[in-house]
């Protein structure tokens, strides 16, 4: 039990030390421009709401990824999503796009929209 506790403590300290190096902050304004420029909006919608142009593209609002995971995914995506090489979408661009996605408000409860409640 003591060994497990010490191992978890060491892992937590290591992750805590690496977190600032791994966390890449992005610029949401640049990310929105890149999201449009490289065509993400064509399938995922201009507000990350998802869509169904050729197939069901998932909503991106609330995406549970960090910049590194998103970069790995866009380089080797699943399904019909085209891959984005680093020459097209750099790691800094991915961080910006993620900042844009995280800035999106997401869906609202229709009951909070006055026009719909008349």
- Decide if 14 is inside a domain: no
Distance CA 111, CA 105 (A): 16
Which CATH number belongs to the domain containing residue 37 in this structure?
1.10.760.10
- Decide if 77 is inside a domain: yes
∠107-110-114 over CA atoms, to 5°?
Answer: 125
- Decide if 117 is inside a domain: no
- Decide if 3 is inside a domain: no
Q: 3-24, pLDDT tens digit by residue?
A: 343 333 443 443 444 444 445 6
Take residue 92 and report the two structure tokens written for it.
């800094």
Domain that holds residue 100: 26-106
State residue 66's pLDDT score: 95
- Decide if 5 is inside a domain: no
- Decide if 118 is inside a domain: no
As a whole number, mean pLDDT of residues 31-40 equals: 96
Distance CA 118, CA 62 (A): 30
Q: 13-44 burial, b for 16+ CB within 10 Å, e for fewer?
A: eeeeeeeeeeebebbbebbbebbeebebeebb
Which range among 25-29, 83-87, 106-110 shows the weakest confidence by mean pLDDT? 106-110
State residue 4's pLDDT score: 43
Task: Using the predicted structure, report yes or no on whether residue 26 has a pLDDT greater than 50.
Answer: yes
- Decide if 67 is inside a domain: yes
State residue 48's pLDDT score: 86
Q: In degrees rounded to 5, what are phi and psi of residue 18?
A: -85, -20
- Decide if 114 is inside a domain: no
Distance CA 38, CA 88 (A): 8
pLDDT band at 2 (very low <50, low <70, confident <90, very high): very low
State residue 21's pLDDT score: 40
- Dihedral of alpha carbons 106, 15, 27, 33, sign: negative
Q: 39-95, pLDDT tens digit by residue?
A: 999 989 888 888 876 668 888 988 899 999 999 999 999 888 899 999 999 999 999
pTM over 0.85: no
What's the total number of domains in the chain? Answer: 1
Distance CA 101, CA 86 (A): 19
């Amino acid at each position: 039990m003591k060994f497990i506790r010490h191992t978890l403590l060491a892992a937590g300290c290591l992750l805590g030390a690496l977190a600032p190096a791994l966390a890449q902050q992005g610029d949401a304004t640049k990310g929105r421009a890149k999201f449009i420029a490289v065509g993400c909006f064509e399938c995922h919608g201009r507000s990350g709401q998802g869509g169904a142009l050729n197939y069901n593209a998932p909503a991106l609002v609330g995406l549970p990824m960090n910049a590194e995971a998103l970069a790995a995914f866009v380089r080797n995506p699943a399904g019909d999503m085209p891959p984005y090489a680093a020459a097209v979408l750099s790691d800094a661009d991915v961080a910006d796009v993620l900042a844009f996605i995280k800035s999106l408000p997401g869906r609202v409860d229709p009951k909070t929209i006055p026009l719909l409640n008349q």
